[in-house]
Structure 1
Amino acid sequence: MHGTVDGFGYGAVTPLVAFLMACLGGALGLRCITRSLLVTHARRPAWLALGAAALGCGTWTMHFIAMMGFSIQQAPVHYDEPVTYASLGLAVVMVGVGVFIVGYRGATGAPLFTGGTVTGLGVASMHYLGMAGMRFHGSFAYSTPKVVASVAIAVAAATAALWAAGRGRGLLPSVGASVLMGVAVSGMHYMAMAALSVHLDGTAETTADAPDASTLVPMLLGPLVLLVLAGVVVLLEPMLVLRHPDRAPAPPALPAPGVPAAALAAHQHRHPDSRPVRQGARTPQNR
């Protein structure tokens, strides 16, 4: 028996909010990746880990906000919490692998292709594992071509987003990368849902069942809190940088031949904003 699926129980509200959440997670995560490329080697893992967590949580939150509008008219739907949370962990880990590849190897060539592929596969794996955590009197079946298309969308858009994050430093590149990440997650989700068909067993109910939002809302609180914390870190980043500079201090200037070190120190003390004398520079003493 085939089940009737309704993926838009709340109209356009859940798709729009889900897309915005994917863009928000993408903006925070990709901003952290961009920042990681500008800091010292010792602090890079922290920024990349925060970026991976933001991207993974944003992806997972987008998926389950969209699923609030999902229902099977002939059967009630429930969620297996361990499997559902496992999909969150899978998203963070796989996206983290892709992010670290790009963060340490660069957003070009083979590292970009590998990192984008792993990130896209992480997004797709999260979706299908999350769907496997749904419980009802029946089973899902998928159209193989549409599943392949959903994975291809995720990989292509994730690769483009990582490339933009690695290249762009301004506002427009950051916004573009965030939108690309939102497209990657949302496009993959709805293409995968288009590949879905439901087969019910003989014990299925005949009455429609409302979306199980009451179960999903508590599970979304943790990832949402993490996204808020990531947003606070990104917003306060200029203050943190001013108080704790990431870059190593510049090496002390060496006196030029013929210039006594004491004279150079006295000159810099009287004129702290003046440029230091470079080694080998022409001075009145060595002209």
Structure 2
Amino acid sequence: MVVVGAGVFTVGYGPPGLRSLLLGGLGTGVGVAAMHYLGMVAMRLHGHVAFDPGLVALSVVIAAGAATAALWAALTVRGTMGAVLASLVMGLAVSSMHYTGMAAVRIELTPGRAPLAGVTAMEFVFPLTVALGSFLFLTAAFVALSPTARERAAAASVDSLPEH
């Protein structure tokens, strides 16, 4: 989320032009690919995980291209048909990156009976629940405390009254 946010910030608030788009897309794509491969390396199994460097590089290029296309679409696509087309292209790009990344993985299993190290279900679910609950609470509070259209209009009419 941070990497995608940084990419959107780079394109949305950086100097307009191709350079911001390419930097935002590259950073976002590399971040997404890093998340994918860190997740793959984090697997606990009886064996060894290796990667095909050529396919890894191709998946990173696809991820950067997909991220750049998504950022470009966010800035330029208007209308329902444009949004549908951009969504289809992005779905294809994300799927391509994922399957290319999966093709890059080589797993050699070594049979064993020893228990694998890892977290319990509660050690995983509790922080996830706290983070999601906090996000939902803060979002609900923001919405609840935001002024309504009527309140904004009333404040605007008070501000526009001449002073005596």
> What is the TM-score normalised by the length of structure 2?
0.66
Give CA-to-partner distance per residue, 1:166-214, whole Å, 9 cap, x none. 0123222323333333333321111011111112235379xxxxxxxx9
Give CA-to-partner distance per residue, 1:71-127, whole Å, 9 cap, x none. xxxxxxxxxxxxxxxxxxxxx121121111011126631000000111111110110
Q: Secondary structure at the match of 2:85?
A: helix
Where does residue 266 of structure 1 map in the other structure?
none
- Alignment gaps of 5+ in structure 2: 115-120, 154-159
Residue type of the alignment partner of 1:196: V
Where does residue 185 of structure 1 map in the other structure?
94
Task: Among all aligned residue pairs of Structure 1 and Structure 2, give the percentage whose two residues are the same amino acid.
Answer: 46
Matched, 1:149 2:58: yes
Give the alignment of 1:107-126 within 5 angstroms: 108-126=17-35
Matched, 1:136 2:136: no
Matched, 1:197 2:106: yes
Where does residue 249 of structure 1 map in the other structure?
none
The structure-2 alpha-carbon separation of the partners of 1:241 and 1:176, relative to structure 1 and needing over 3 Å to count, comes to: farther
Where does residue 176 of structure 1 map in the other structure?
85
Residue type of the alignment partner of 1:139: H
Residue type of the alignment partner of 1:135: R
Matched, 1:161 2:82: no
2:97 and 2:148 mapped to 1: Cα distance? 36
Cα RMSD for the two superposed structures: 3.4
Give CA-to-partner distance per residue, 1:126-150, whole Å, 9 cap, x none. 1001112110011111111111111
2:13 and 2:78 mapped to 1: Cα distance? 17
Paired residues, number: 134
2:64 and 2:92 mapped to 1: Cα distance? 11
Contact kept? 1:153, 1:187, Cα under 8 Å: yes
Residue type of the alignment partner of 2:34: S
- Choose the corresponding residue for 1:103, options 3, 8, 12: 12
- Alignment gaps of 5+ in structure 1: 1-91, 206-213, 246-251, 253-287
Q: Which protein shows a greater Rg? A: 1
Give the alignment of 1:3-152 within 5 angstroms: 92-105=1-14, 108-152=17-61
The structure-2 alpha-carbon separation of the partners of 1:199 and 1:145, relative to structure 1 and needing over 3 Å to count, comes to: same
1:184 and 1:164 mapped to 2: Cα distance? 13
1:139 and 1:165 mapped to 2: Cα distance? 40
Residue type of the alignment partner of 1:120: G
Higher helix share: 2
1:175 and 1:183 mapped to 2: Cα distance? 12
2:18 and 2:28 mapped to 1: Cα distance? 15
Contact kept? 1:107, 1:166, Cα under 8 Å: no
> What is the TM-score normalised by the length of structure 1?
0.40
